[in-house]
A = this chain, B = another copy of it.
Amino acid sequence: MTKSFVTAKEVAALAKVSRSTVSRTFTEGASVAPDVRQRVEEAAKALGYRVNKLAQNLSADQSQIVGVVGSNLSTPFAARQLDQLSRGLLQRGMQCLLLNAADAQHDISPLIEQVLEFRVRAIVIMSGAPPGAIIDECLANGVRVIVVNRQTDVETDTILSDDVAGVRQAAERLIMAGCRFPAVVSSSARTQSQARRRNEFLKLMFEAGLEPAIWAQGVMSYETGQLAARDLLATETVDGVFCVTDLLALGFLDAARDMGRRVPEEVSVIGFDDIPQANWSAYQLTTIRQPLDELTDAVLAAIDRDVRGGNSRPIRRILPATLIERATVRAPTTV
Contacts and interface: CB of A to CB of B under 8 A. Distances in A.
Interface of A: 1-5, 48, 50-55, 57-58, 61, 63, 65, 68, 72-76, 79-80, 82-84, 86-87, 90, 95-100, 102, 111, 113-114, 116-119, 137, 140-142, 222, 226, 250-251, 253-255, 257-258, 276-277, 280-283, 310-311
A141 B5 contact: yes
Contacts of A137: 48
Given A76-B76, A96-B97, A96-B98, A281 B258 contact: yes
A111 B50 CA distance: 13
Contacts of A253: 282
A67 to B, nearest CB: 9
B58 A113 contact: no
Contacts of A113: 50
Q: Which of A58, A72, A311 has the most CB of B within 10 A?
A: A58
A326 to B, nearest CB: 14
A254 B282 contact: yes
B90 A276 contact: no
Given A50-B113, A83-B73, A142 B2 contact: yes
Contacts of A72: 83
A235 to B, nearest CB: 21
21 contacts: A4-B142, A5-B61, A5-B141, A48-B141, A52-B117, A53-B117, A54-B57, A74-B80, A74-B84, A79-B79, A82-B98, A83-B100, A86-B99, A86-B100, A96-B97, A98-B98, A254-B281, A254-B282, A257-B281, A258-B281, A282-B282
B53 A222 contact: no
A331 to B, nearest CB: 21
Nearest to A63: B54
Given A65-B97, A73-B79, 14 more contacts: A2-B310, A3-B140, A5-B141, A48-B141, A52-B117, A52-B119, A54-B63, A54-B119, A55-B58, A74-B80, A82-B82, A86-B98, A90-B111, A95-B97
